[in-house]
Amino acid sequence: MARLALLLSAFLLVQVSSAALSPSSYWKHVLPDTHMPDVVRAFLYPDLVEKQATEVGAEGKEVVVNAPGTHVIVGRPGVRVHAPGTYVNVGHGVGVYSGHGRKPVVVRAPYGPFLYNYAASEDQLKYDPNVALFFLEKDLHQGKKMNLQFVRTDGAGPAFVPRAVADATPFSTAKFPDILHRFSLSPNSKEASLMKRTLQECEEPANKGETRYCATSLESMVDFSVSQLGTRHLQVLATEVEKGDNPQERRTYTVLGGVELVATPTSVVCHNQPYPYAVFYCHKTTASRAYVVPLGADDGSKVNAVAVCHLDTSTWNPKHLAFRVLGVKPGSVPVCHFLPQDHLVWAPVN
């Protein structure tokens, strides 16, 4: 019965989701007036960007979605997506692969500093590049110099899988042995450790005044942001880094003119998490301000950086990286941070 319920749920989901639209088509359907940032597009499999299903149906014990050049099956032993140059099988003992020059799937280090209950270690104070991203809101003015490092990602990380795939795949610490089996990973591997940490963080309760959600597909991230902000008239912002920036080096940036307040007091911020396919930890806060900050370096490099300032940090971990870097106490002053290139701010259009 449980398997039948899963298949029925997946079938209904595929039908309701605008006849099994591709992730990018779903974006256009729900957010017709919202520009998709390049960083979001970089998380899509090339062959699934514009393909729309032409047939949805049940065949025996499987749910099948057929599109030109794309074949999706939800059923035993898992979920399979076939497209030219792309193969996704979230079944037993198979991982995720994409062709067309996309880099191999890499599970990267977590972005713990952007979680409120995070406690920094001494090593992170010395070596974590995220240290430089924190600053005080009073410093957000033209002419302010900051020593920063912005890492260009260019779609090097894992891509989004379609929602039918994500929803039919276990995503919980209770199912962790099954998840490792599906991806052929050893419980003692670094990848397994990072994945488990992501699952644990996704299951932690929200802080006071916060609503959190881990989006395992682009479609679910869209739905969460729309539901939390109460409108489809949204802007989605990401830090834009010029190609000349060296990801291995910090440099001195100067805040240029034109700092823009884009959202207050409510926005949804989504942080890319380490996992074999794209997962975003999203949270809505009701006491924040989001800015777009033009930055320039002496060598001519420029960054349009997205920054979020948290107005109430009283419930954060007192050992959070921000407090240790800035020398302030929880709840004393607004704490701000720039966002890496592959993190997003969702905000209502003013």
Q: What would the pLDDT profile of 101-133 be if each residue is shown by its tens digit?
A: 444 343 444 455 666 666 766 666 665 666 678
- What pLDDT was estimated at residue 249? 72
**What is the C-alpha separation between 274 and 348, in angstroms, rounded?**
28
What is the average per-residue pLDDT within 257-276?
Answer: 93
Least Cα distance to 165 among 232, 224, 80, 247 occurs for: 80
The model's pLDDT over 50-94, given as tens digits with 9 standing for 90+, comes to 443 333 343 443 434 444 444 444 433 444 444 443 334 443 333
Give the count of alpha carbons within 13 A of 284, CB side only. 17
Give CA separation, 303 vs 115, 172, 202, 300, 307, in Å: 24, 37, 30, 10, 12
Find the angle CA(328)-CA(329)-CA(330) to the nearest 5 degrees. 130
Q: Are strands 335-338 and 302-310 parallel, antiparallel or unpaired?
A: antiparallel
Q: Classify residue 47 by its DSSP letter.
A: G
- What pLDDT was estimated at residue 183? 87
- What pLDDT was estimated at residue 123? 66
Give CA separation, 128 vs 137, 149, 275, 336, in Å: 21, 11, 20, 17
Take residue 108 and report the two structure tokens written for it.
Answer: 């990267």
The model's pLDDT over 141-196, given as tens digits with 9 standing for 90+, comes to 999 999 888 866 655 578 898 898 899 999 999 999 999 998 888 999 989 999 99
- What pLDDT was estimated at residue 78? 42
- What pLDDT was estimated at residue 45? 75
Least Cα distance to 134 among 331, 327, 342, 332 occurs for: 327
What lies within 8 Å, CB to CB, of 343 at 6+ separation is 111, 114, 238, 239, 269, 270, 271, 272, 306
**What is the C-alpha separation between 146 and 259, in angstroms, rounded?**
15
- What pLDDT was estimated at residue 324? 85
- What pLDDT was estimated at residue 261? 96
Please report which residue ranges of the chain form alpha helices under DSSP H: 2-16, 23-30, 38-41, 122-127, 163-167, 176-182, 190-203, 218-229, 321-326
**Ramachandran sector of residue 19 (left: φ over 0; alpha: ψ -120 to 50; beta: rest):** left
The model's pLDDT over 1-48, given as tens digits with 9 standing for 90+, comes to 233 233 223 333 333 333 467 899 999 999 999 999 999 998 987 654
Residue type, 132: A
Residue 255 — very low, low, confident or very high, per pLDDT cuts 50/70/90?
Answer: very high
Which of the pair, 315 or 213, is modelled with greater confidence?
Answer: 213
- What pLDDT was estimated at residue 325? 85
Residue 243 — very low, low, confident or very high, per pLDDT cuts 50/70/90?
Answer: low
pTM of the model: 0.77
- What pLDDT was estimated at residue 88? 42
What is the average per-residue pLDDT within 203-213?
Answer: 88
Q: Are strands 335-338 and 260-263 parallel, antiparallel or unpaired?
A: unpaired
Q: Is the pLDDT of residue 293 over 90?
A: yes
Which of the pair, 282 or 243, is modelled with greater confidence?
Answer: 282
